Each structure stands twice: as structure tokens, then as C-alpha cells.
Amino acid sequence: MTSELLDQALIEEAAKKSGLVWVRGAGAPAARALWHVWHEGAVCLVGDGPGEQPLPGLADGGSAEVTVRSKDKGGRLVTWTAAVSEVAPGSPEWEAAVAELKGKRLNAPDGEAMTERWARECRVLRLAPTGHTSPLPEGSLAEPPLPSAATTRRPAPAGLPRLLLRRRKPK
């Protein structure tokens, strides 16, 4: 019993202080960094809508693996199993969760109207701890980056430094 209480306290404290959690839903190829809030004993997320974070593999009634990192050092603190549930728009639970999420959402394109957009176009999920924590891994769990349209910088053309550094002639 004491071990379960300590695990719950560690999960709650770590999730409250961290701005990101790494979540891997059932069938997802890799964990994904997601912003969240800790509210009433669970991690609350909003996503799967235009301009919001994707929530791959997270389905109502499913499970997920959640990893919380240290805010100051970035190291892994705890990994735990969560039960995923979708919160129905307009319900008292949804209103309470969205009030917390709204305060943490940065750079919302529609400002105060974002909660209405979330109700229409997004999903609000609750990831409640099941009480099972995983031991910390021995080695690195680094994975290659997910596919993206972003490209890396190419080498500068050989003549560019001469063009940039040459002196302009006075007029």
C-alpha cells in the first residue's frame, strides 16, 4: 500500500511540474511529446483538431504509456500506464478540464474563442494513472525523428563568403 501511495505522489508531482509528457498510445510507433495539465488526478490533453497537437493511438477506453521528464534537467523521472478516456464536450468535467487547459495554451490563433473550437473540432482526453509504474531503463531509448517536411540546412555555396565580405565601392 505504501509503495502505491509513493508511486501516485511521484506521478502527480512530476506531472504537475512538467510542461510536456511523452505519450505512446496503443499501436503508435513512437512516443510523442504533448503539452498537458494535471487536473483532478489525471493528465488532461487537447488535440486532434486544426492547429492543435496530434493524439495518435489514443482512443477512449484504451491505454497509454506516459513518461514524465524533469523540467530543469530534462531527464526521465517516471513512466506509468494510463487509462485513456475522452471527456464529452459540455459536461462539467469537460468545462473544468478546458478551463485549466485554456490557461496553458500558448499562441492560440483564435484567443477566447478557442474553447468553442475545441468543443466543435477537437478531443479532450483524460489519462488517469492505473497505479503501475515502469522501472527506469538501463540504456538510452533514443529513436530517430518522426518523418517531417522540414529539411536540414545545406552547405553554403563556395562563392557566398566572397559576396558577403567584399567591400562596396563608394559612390
- Residue 44 banded pLDDT, cuts 50, 70, 90: very high
- Residue 42 banded pLDDT, cuts 50, 70, 90: very high
Q: How far is CA 153 from CA 31, 148, 149, 157, 160, in A?
A: 26, 14, 13, 12, 15
Is the model's pLDDT at 2 over the cut of 90? no
Better pLDDT: 160 or 1: 160
Is the model's pLDDT at 56 over the cut of 60? yes
pLDDT of res. 72: 81
pLDDT of res. 1: 57
- Condensed to tens digits (0 to 9), the pLDDT of residues 101-143 reads 998 888 877 877 888 999 999 999 999 999 878 887 787 777 7
Q: Give the span between the Cα atoms of 4 and 71, in whole angstroms.
A: 24
Is the model's pLDDT at 45 over the cut of 60? yes
Inter-residue contact 64 to 23 (CB < 8 Å)? yes
Is the model's pLDDT at 152 over the cut of 80? no
- Condensed to tens digits (0 to 9), the pLDDT of residues 66-107 reads 999 888 887 888 999 999 999 999 999 999 999 999 988 888
User: 3.20.20.370, 3.10.450.50, 3.40.190.10, 2.30.110.10: which CATH number matches 2-136?
Assistant: 2.30.110.10
Is the model's pLDDT at 38 over the cut of 90? yes
The DSSP 8-state label assigned to residue 111 in this structure reads: G
**Domain range summary for the chain, segments of one domain joined by +:** 2-136
What burial class does residue 150 get, using C-beta atoms within 10 Å of its C-beta: 0-12 exposed, 13-18 middle, 19+ buried?
exposed
